[in-house]
Amino acid sequence: NKIGVIFDLDGVIVDTAKYHYLAWKELADDLGFEFTEKHNELLKGVSRVRSLEILLGIGNISISEEKKQEYLVSKNEEYLGYITKMGANEILPGASELLDALDNVGIKYVLGSASKNAPLILKQIGLYDRFAGIVDGNSVSKAKPDPEVFLIGAEKLNLTPKQCVVFEDAIAGIEAAKNANMISVGIGDENTLKEADYNFNNLTEVPSDFFEKLVTL
């Protein structure tokens, strides 16, 4: 009985949601409507294209496909301005320690993120080489809650879905893990992520014998 781990990126390893927020807010400002941090919650774990659609819905704005493409590019350029300034100090509490613990017991892990910028972010924070594989927004055709991203992750781990443990902060991500038939761990508010098999407020709370216990289940 072997297990492997699939980590979501934003909200689990780093908090890039705050940079997504700033970049989307810039666009909303230009378009002349208010975009709050509460609105931003709706974009967590959701693809870039879908995020734009939700944002435009909030502003009650309809625009051409061409304009949409333009906004997707400008938002990402703005976002990259923040991302390229990131460093290892932005790794969320408990993440490095958890990866160390997995390395020590020989449990492999891959990334399963909706972000097309995931490789860049991992390089910025110095964790890129640690992962056995990276599945990001460039490698999937269907967004979470579709299980595709995690199923490709299982292939990279050479494991069956039931042997995979997914760490996620978004409802759509927990749903995707369930749809993939994997063990799901919700990181963040327990009430929001109540569908998860296990819940922790953050990675520092994951007990040191967590994986050991899973293997013997």
Q: Which residues have a catalytic role annotated?
A: 8, 10
Q: For residues 68 and 90, which CB has a smaller minimum distance to Mg ion in the complex? A: 90
Distance CA 131, CA 110 (A): 5
Q: How far is the CB of 9 from Mg ion (least distance, A)?
A: 6
Residue 30 annotated as binding? no
Residue 110 annotated as binding? no
Q: How far is the CB of 159 from Mg ion (least distance, A)?
A: 22
Distance CA 163, CA 160 (A): 5
Q: How far is the CB of 106 from Mg ion (least distance, A)?
A: 26
Q: For residues 2 and 85, which CB has a smaller minimum distance to ligand B16 in the complex? A: 85
Distance CA 95, CA 15 (A): 12
What is the distance of C-alpha 145 from the center of its chain? Answer: 12
- Give the contact letters, 41-80, x = binds to Mg ion (CB under 5 A), - = no: ----x-----------------------------------
Q: How far is the CB of 18 from Mg ion (least distance, A)?
A: 13
- Give the contact letters, 155-194, x = binds to Mg ion (CB under 5 A), - = no: --------------xx------------------------
Query: What per-residue string of b and e applies to 56-74 under the rule 16 or more CB within 10 Å gives b?
Result: bebbeeeeeeeeeeebeee
Residue 48 annotated as binding? yes
- DSSP per-residue letters across 119-150: HHHHHHTT-GGG-S-EE-TTT-SS-TTSTHHH
Q: For residues 45 and 147, which CB has a smaller minimum distance to ligand B16 in the complex? A: 45
Counting contacts by CB under 5 A, is residue 10 touching Mg ion? Answer: yes
Distance CA 12, CA 193 (A): 13
- The contacts of residue 24 (CB under 8 Å, 6+ apart) are 35, 40, 43, 51, 55, 75
Helix (H, G, I), strand (E, B) or coil at 172: helix
For ligand B16, the binding residues (CB under 6 A) are 8-11, 20, 43-48, 51, 76, 113-117, 137, 170
User: Which residues of this protein are in contact with Mg ion, per CB under 5 A?
Assistant: 8, 10-11, 45, 169-170
Residues making up the annotated binding site for Mg(2+) are 8, 10, 168-169
